[in-house]
Chains A and B, each alone.
Chain A
Amino acid sequence: MESLNPRIRTVWLVVAFVIAAVLSAVVGALPTEEYVDVPVAPFVFVAFLVLLGVYQFLRYRNWGYEIQDDAVYIEHGVLIHVKKVVPFVRIQHIDSRRGPVERASGLASLVIYTAGSRGADVTVPGLTPERADELREELRELAIENEESIEDAV
């Protein structure tokens, strides 16, 4: 089982920081009762930061993927643990993707598409661009190899 690149933790922590800041700003802007002397916002900020920080830590710890003999296996989730099996035969196409945040942090993600109705696209975040491209190539080859003699993908 392969973990994500540790750098994604930083990205997720920054995201947690931003969310906590926004939430505490909202709380701070709310009109307070006169008898409340202490500013609430810093406490809210710290509380959210701790909560989200723990969440992101667990999120990183629980993420894992593996290319097995016949399928891609993915595990993730904090509140809901999810284990996904995507057989190579079912892979429709694969993207390696770099959004603005990912480009800034020098990371990339991989998106695997199938024709399924629920697990239609599976995203693996937190990869180095090289690893993402490498995985894309590898999966593409595996998909083609497995598909070859099948008439119908659906």
Chain B
Amino acid sequence: MTAPETPVSESSKLHPLSVAYRTVRQLSRIGFLVVLFFFGGTTATGDISALVAIGSTVALALAAVFVWQVAYYRRFEYEITGDTFDIRSGVVSRRNREIPLRRVQNVDVTENVVHRLLGIAQVNIETAGGNVSEANLRYVGADVAREIQRDVRRRKTELAGGEVDEKEEVVEDRGEKLYEISSGELLLLSTFSIDFRLVAFALFLLSFLPPERFETFESLSLSFGALPVVVIGFFVVLLLWLIGFVTSFSRYYGFVLRRIDDTLSYERGLFNRYSGSIPLDKIQTFTVYENVLKRHFDYATLGVETAGYSPSQARQQGSETAVPFAKRRRVDRLADEIDGVERPEFELPPRRARRRYAFRYALILGALAAALYAAQFFVSPPSWYLPLVALPLTPVAAHLKWRNRGYYLGKEYVATRNGFWNRTTVILPYYRVQNVIESSTILQRRWRLATVTVDTAGSSGLRANEARAVDVGFEDAERIREDVRDTLQEALAERRAERRRENETWLDTVARESPDARDDSDAQET
């Protein structure tokens, strides 16, 4: 291996303050138990000796945790070498880990409020393998975190044979700014961030509360009977809306999306600052989110999904938000700018799917009425025929559900769309397809309908983020399955040829200079 163009850094340690921070964090976790144990046992006696016991235990715990954390700090080293990110860690059992830089999907930096006061940050490095981050640096200095992010990106570019601008010092000033949230957009986004499914569910539950429950309100001279329910409903909706507003506002405050070489990089957050980078060639799918409100005002959200993330990391929506909020047309344009994504033109499922939904909704309402009717003999629930009042709405609901579905088989991209309340459009290039699954349940078969799932390595684990053409006709399902399969082969062949043309020169160089580096990458295909 020849020396990389950027000088190799020394092995480094975490930020010294991380010892203090981790100590306090760990103590606050176990401290609760200690306090509970002692107060539970000694409130009866409550004498001085108990206090002494508590005090000394706390002191002992503090000392033990502190010593442990110092040891952790002293035994933790990381280093960016020419082609790997190495971590040597562990107090009792040692672990040496080398992560090939070319396999790195994302480098994320997280700072919460306390971190920011202390000037430290958490760095997570993700590759496609495994369920958890491959590397967790808790914690390094905030500036060091940015440096790591930049170094990894630069090394990756070098390893890919790209040119690196030597003068590049500050990441923030470089790169092409693709999108920055305006204060108007932020406010609108926060306003529209209410989860309608939650609202619908809450109101549905409320509708079952019998008015008698609110006698207290009536005694407050609100004798309209139904009014308190309405009032409560109003406050529930208001509360849900407020929660959505505050979460979105603090999450997307100061959102900036940049493109640096072949990487997207973003920063966001009011209290907790996040910054992450997404290599363009690791993007699996693009997702456009439009809830009812956004759709009405022609706004949308764009998310990208890479192979690195997993559900266990509890990321919102399981994917990275590339554009939190923008006019639909701008979202389309940005997707096009990022990866040449086509604007899909959707084909709707057959009309019998709509009949199926109407039928299904009517059946649900009927079952509900029947259940209430049966319950009459045991308790005194509200009138059993209440659910049937909603019957005229079923065709409307069925139509909306049907109208918002769809699939698109384009030249380079395949797309699916689902959902009325939160419409989700998943767009993916054919060459990302992992496998195709066609399924039809016994109920679907009655209507000669099937669902085709086009699976990618994006691992959010959320159904909404899967490309699913739901309730298409049997013939269409087969056509989709076969089309996707054939186009995948074509797209792969094309990509292969393209890469060969592009990379001929540097691949030869790499192969000549480090045969083992090639072997390594083959062995570790994700």
**A residues bordering B, Cβ < 8 Å?**
70-71, 77, 79-87, 89-90, 92, 114-119, 122, 147, 149-154
Contacts and interface: CB of A to CB of B under 8 A. Distances in A.
B441 A79 contact: yes
A115 B437 contact: no
A154 B126 CA distance: 14
B455 interface: yes
Contacts of B445: 81
Interface residues of B, number: 40
22 contacts: A70-B485, A85-B435, A85-B437, A85-B481, A87-B488, A89-B488, A90-B434, A92-B526, A115-B526, A116-B434, A116-B456, A117-B457, A117-B461, A117-B466, A118-B437, A118-B453, A118-B466, A119-B434, A122-B435, A147-B525, A150-B492, A154-B282
A5 to B, nearest CB: 24
A154 B459 CA distance: 11
Contacts of B458: 117
Nearest to A70: B489
A87 B441 contact: no
B123 interface: no
Contacts of A153: 525-526
B284 interface: yes
Contacts of A149: 496, 500
Interface in B21-76: none
* Chain B CB within 10 Å, residue with most, of A116, A119, A150: A116
Kindly list the 4 A-B residue pairs having the minimum CB-CB distance in the complex, ordered from nearest. Answer: A116-B434, A116-B455, A115-B457, A153-B525
Nearest to B484: A85
A149 B499 CA distance: 9
A116 B438 contact: no
A140 to B, nearest CB: 14
Contact of B485 (A81, A85, A152, A154): A85
A81 B439 contact: yes
Contacts of B485: 70-71, 85, 87
A83 B457 CA distance: 19
Given A83-B437, A115-B128, 11 more contacts: A83-B481, A87-B435, A116-B456, A117-B434, A117-B457, A117-B459, A117-B466, A118-B437, A118-B453, A151-B499, A153-B525
Contacts of B128: 115, 154
Interface string B464-506: 0010000000000000010001001100100110011001000
Nearest to B459: A117
Contacts of B168: none
B441 A80 contact: yes
A117 B457 CA distance: 5
Nearest to B455: A116
A87 B481 CA distance: 12
B485 to A, nearest CB: 5
